[in-house]
Amino acid sequence: MSAVEYTVDGQTYEGWLVMPDGKSNVPVVVIAHAWAGLGENEKQKAAIIAKEFGYAAFAVDVYGKGKRGTTVEENQALMNPLVGDRAELQKRLAGGLMAAKAQPGVDGSKAAAIGFCFGGLCVLDMARANQDVLGVASFHGLFRPAENIPQPKITAKVLIEHGWLDPMAQPQDVLAIAKEFEGADWQLHAHGRAYHSFTTQGANNKEMGTVYDADADRRSFAYLKTFLTEVFG
Amino acid sequence: MSAVEYTVDGQTYEGWLVMPDGKSNVPVVVIAHAWAGLGENEKQKAAIIAKEFGYAAFAVDVYGKGKRGTTVEENQALMNPLVGDRAELQKRLAGGLMAAKAQPGVDGSKAAAIGFCFGGLCVLDMARANQDVLGVASFHGLFRPAENIPQPKITAKVLIEHGWLDPMAQPQDVLAIAKEFEGADWQLHAHGRAYHSFTTQGANNKEMGTVYDADADRRSFAYLKTFLTEVFG
């Protein structure tokens, strides 16, 4: 595993690559980070994907090298400009995807993307923008549509792992994204007792609705494994 | 595989048992039939569960021996009285469950139930009535609540495999069952392009909204396998 620098539009970003042992020409799973920026949680998921699933894992960075948040205010200050400028966000994601595909040992024809919270919104945007991924999977992601793609024509397979009690993506938002994605090959897995951040170990803020849930975490990753097996064929 | 007669309240019912080869003391999966009554489709699912999953499969009969439908009118005439009298339906299901657990080679402490269409409503009722099953899985099931259990306290794990385009269980019905099952360990898997009857090979009536879907069929059975592995521990 190693940090990997890459540039998009002249700005430097720092991703994180984990390769599976003793394999080459493997599919790659791009990992989009939550609002704090690429950190331990994404690195941990990358390790699981390489070690247990046998794919290359490349955690992208959409904030820029060294730009990470440590407080709610910092996280919001990093995230909100991109949630409000989806064309810019999609450009940075496309750059990260290109970097992922260019890593030695990666089969650049087989890429998928997964993301957590804000990263869920990121990978849904990769699908909306028809970036070159076979499938995307969102975990407790935000569903807010992209203002620059009002009627997406999605070709990637889509898996949405969703905590039904998530205050940041409520039942009416589920109905809305189902409508937005109509015609695409999408699945939404609702976990009845899960809140936001159900895959984030240690999360336990009921007031904010961010709570780790071992059942939903384990189940959703098992579903991801099945999904990626299908996606990479 | 063999037909198995059993009685509930003095009436005779005819189920269908399939045991996995060369195994004994195995968990049992009860299969609840669609509106036409126990037929080829349920027998086929029983065979898959025994052969590919390695569990005993017992398809129950809630209509009575020899009572099967062959037309829409006959099916409705068989189903509607039970949809309208859920206490009676639950009694027949409990009888079928007891017969399943009593089969030779079955570990009666480990039972789950799955059902299709009307059979989905049946297994959700088994959960609502707290019958002795560890888990229930509904496939394109009907969500209509049981009038005799207005506030169910569900202890079984619940998996709902649902076609988002199902005209018999629409988005508002999804919201309603999520509310009804609040607090229980439930999951709902929405398949974005699937209609009703997505597991029924040959179904292809777009007007009625009953359409076989190979993707949703394959995926939902893979999820069932994972679910049963967890449920039987």
Closest CA to A149 of A96, A63, A85, A92: A85
**C-alpha angle A26-A27-A29 in degrees, rounded to nearest 5:** 130
The pLDDT tens digits of the residues spanning A94-123 come to: 999 999 999 999 999 999 999 999 999 999
Contacts of B191 in chain A (CB under 8 A): 187
Cα nearest neighbour of A227 on chain B: B219
The pLDDT confidence band at residue A179, using thresholds 50, 70 and 90, is very high
Task: Answer whether A184 touches B (CB < 8 Å).
Answer: yes
Which ipTM value was assigned to this complex? 0.96
Q: Name the token pair of B67.
A: 């009572």
> What crossing angle do the helices spanning A86-101 and A72-83 adopt, rounded to 10°?
100
> What crossing angle do the helices spanning A214-232 and B214-232 adopt, rounded to 10°?
140
Number of domains in chain B: 1
| CA atoms within a 13 Å half-sphere pointing along the CA-CB vector of A27 | 19
Which domain range does residue A88 map to?
2-232
Average pLDDT over residues A128-151: 98
Euclidean distance between CA atoms B210 and B167, whole angstroms: 9
Question: Cβ A187–B187 below 8 Å, yes or no?
Answer: no
Euclidean distance between CA atoms A99 and A94, whole angstroms: 9
Question: Cβ A189–B186 below 8 Å, yes or no?
Answer: no
Task: Answer whether A133 touches B (CB < 8 Å).
Answer: no
The pLDDT tens digits of the residues spanning B72-130 come to: 999 999 999 999 999 999 999 999 999 999 999 999 999 999 999 999 999 999 999 99
Question: Cβ B178–A190 below 8 Å, yes or no?
Answer: yes
Place of tokens 């299709």: B116
Contacts of A183 in chain B (CB under 8 A): 193
Written as one string, the DSSP assignment of A172-213 is HHHHHHHHHTTTS-EEEEEETT--BTTTSTT-EETTTTEE--
Question: Cβ A192–B215 below 8 Å, yes or no?
Answer: no
Tell me how far the alpha carbon of residue B125 is from its chain's centroid.
10
pLDDT (tens, 9 = 90+) of chain B, 233 residues, equals 899 999 999 999 999 999 999 888 999 999 999 999 999 999 999 999 999 999 999 999 999 999 999 999 999 999 999 999 999 999 999 999 999 999 999 999 999 999 999 999 999 999 999 999 999 999 999 999 999 999 999 999 999 999 999 999 999 999 999 999 999 999 999 999 999 999 999 999 999 999 999 999 999 999 999 999 999 99
Residue A125 clears pLDDT 90, i.e. is over it: yes
Contact assessment for residue A69 and residue A33, using Cβ atoms and an 8 Å cutoff: no
Task: Answer whether A186 touches B (CB < 8 Å).
Answer: yes
**Mean pLDDT score across all residues of chain A:** 97
DSSP β-bridge partners for residue A159: A137, A187
pLDDT number for residue A111: 98
Task: Answer whether B183 touches A (CB < 8 Å).
Answer: yes
Residue A135 clears pLDDT 90, i.e. is over it: yes
Question: Cβ B187–A186 below 8 Å, yes or no?
Answer: no
Task: Answer whether B176 touches A (CB < 8 Å).
Answer: no
Question: Cβ B190–A182 below 8 Å, yes or no?
Answer: no
CATH number of the domain within which A94 lies: 3.40.50.1820
Task: Answer whether B181 touches A (CB < 8 Å).
Answer: yes
Average pLDDT over residues A60-77: 97
Task: Answer whether B48 touches A (CB < 8 Å).
Answer: no
* Length of chain A in terms of residues written: 233
pLDDT number for residue A23: 87
Cα nearest neighbour of B224 on chain A: A223
